[in-house]
Amino acid sequence: MNVPPNEPQDEPQNSRTGAPANTRQVSTWFQRLPLSTVIAAAVALALIAGLAGGWISSLLTRPAATAAALIGTCNATDVAQGVLPGVVTVSIRNGNASGVGSGVIVRKEGYIMTNNHVIAAAANGGTIDVLFSDGHSSEVELVGRDPKSDLAVLKIAAEKDLPTVKLGKSADVRVGQPVVALGAPLGLSSTVTAGIVSALGRNVPVPSDEDTTAMLVGAIQTDASINPGNSGGALVNCSGQLIGINTAIATIPNDLQVASGSVGIGFAVPIDLAARITDQLIETGTVAYPYFGVSAVPLPPQAAEAFGVDNGLYLQSVAPNGPAAQAGLQPSDIVTLLDNRPATSTAVLAEVTLTRKAGDTVKVSYVRAGKTSSTTITLGTLP
């Protein structure tokens, strides 16, 4: 899928973990979380690790949870005792670049889940170390990373089974339920904070490698205090089950436009998505995404009015024999609905790409020469 950005973005400051601090001042109210790293975009885009163009998905429908999971607060003491052994501090070094983040041990053989932006600066030639809650440390290898979802997997050569954090189900998470965040904010290992789930289904674009954009799809929003260094750490429920990977926070700049710490708006990659990507990285070292086979841009209001639609995605090109072409779509078509959701932004395409697999079908409504039609696209494998 070739999805151009909605608008140009300012060059991110130190968009890779551990890059030396950049003195260039930019307007920012969202910040990613590796230590000593500030990444910013223009306020006009309303994000860094935020809501591009103001686009937010509707809250996802969740199954009912037990009353106990939705009332009061977690017993953070019990949660910390059970979970902290499976949470590590991740440190990277590559020449003059250095940084600190967090990670979660998800397999007893020594596989560790973290964010791509935590380790990106050391992905080619640097060193990555992890510090365990009992104080010992070890160098680890990079198994694989996925800049699109901002996730990565590390591996430690373990002589014995390691303590892990049990995976929960982010599909069962409900707004208002208590949660606990664990990680290394500002490099302070084994830090524990508590809060609630503030919202669900946030689609949060963040700058990624080589001026690309990662998408935190269906992110869990929480008011649990998380700060730079918490990236890659655990967001767990009251049973100590991993429901998300802490990845981004909202910040409010001061008069000097320097980002501050937590203001009670943090975002975590839901574990249902993170686990699927982690499994692929462990098995193959890469992530295979499906694709539509189109290049699309959102219609400006005047263009939408001229075409007689409220909004939509204008297909600049359609790959010959690609999934969209096989479904009958043509260049200059205007996609108005994807799975009955308004196609108001390329973020809709990105969300489908990140959450589906090749072979899945997507219903599409489109306008051609003033006539509305519909078709079904069977997603393909990226060539």
- Rounded to whole angstroms, how far apart are CA atoms 313 and 328? 16
Identify the weakest region by mean pLDDT among 46-60, 252-266, 325-339: 46-60
Q: Is the dihedral of CA 213, 124, 88, 259 positive or negative?
A: negative
Average pLDDT of span 181-192: 93
Catalytic residue (choose from 149, 170, 231, 295): 231
Kindly indicate the confidence band of residue 63, based on its pLDDT and cuts at 50, 70 and 90. very low
Most confident range (mean pLDDT) of 14-18, 45-49, 118-122, 233-237 is: 233-237
Most confident range (mean pLDDT) of 10-14, 36-40, 358-362 is: 358-362
- Rounded to whole angstroms, how far apart are CA atoms 122 and 92? 6
pLDDT the model gives residue 51: 27
pLDDT the model gives residue 260: 64
Q: Is the pLDDT of residue 76 over 50?
A: yes
Kindly indicate the confidence band of residue 232, based on its pLDDT and cuts at 50, 70 and 90. very high
pLDDT the model gives residue 71: 55
pLDDT the model gives residue 346: 81
- Tell me if residue 136 is catalytic: no
pLDDT the model gives residue 240: 96
pLDDT the model gives residue 274: 95
Max CA pair span of the chain = 67
Q: Is the dihedral of CA 105, 111, 112, 115 positive or negative?
A: negative
Element (H, E) at 202: strand 191-207
Compute CA distances 136 → 85, 166, 189, 342, whole Å: 11, 22, 12, 51
- Rounded to whole angstroms, how far apart are CA atoms 234 and 236? 6
Identify the weakest region by mean pLDDT among 42-56, 101-115, 288-302: 42-56
Identify the weakest region by mean pLDDT among 19-28, 40-49, 116-125, 293-302: 40-49
Which carries the bigger pLDDT value, residue 44 or residue 295? 295
What single string gives the DSSP state of each residue in 353-366? Answer: HHH--TT-EEEEEE
pLDDT the model gives residue 255: 63
Tell me, what DSSP letter sits at residue 22? P
pLDDT the model gives residue 31: 44
Q: Is the pLDDT of residue 203 over 90?
A: no
Q: Is the pLDDT of residue 41 over 90?
A: no
Catalytic residue (choose from 10, 129, 146, 150): 150
Phi-psi region of 214 (alpha: psi -120 to 50; beta: other; left: phi over 0): beta
Kindly indicate the confidence band of residue 252, based on its pLDDT and cuts at 50, 70 and 90. confident
pLDDT the model gives residue 64: 36
- Tell me if residue 150 is catalytic: yes
Which carries the bigger pLDDT value, residue 110 or residue 288? 110
Catalytic residue (choose from 15, 117, 170, 223): 117
- Rounded to whole angstroms, how far apart are CA atoms 341 and 365? 10
pLDDT the model gives residue 256: 56
Does residue 161 contact residue 203 with C-beta atoms inside 8 Å? no
Kindly indicate the confidence band of residue 23, based on its pLDDT and cuts at 50, 70 and 90. very low
Kindly indicate the confidence band of residue 241, based on its pLDDT and cuts at 50, 70 and 90. very high
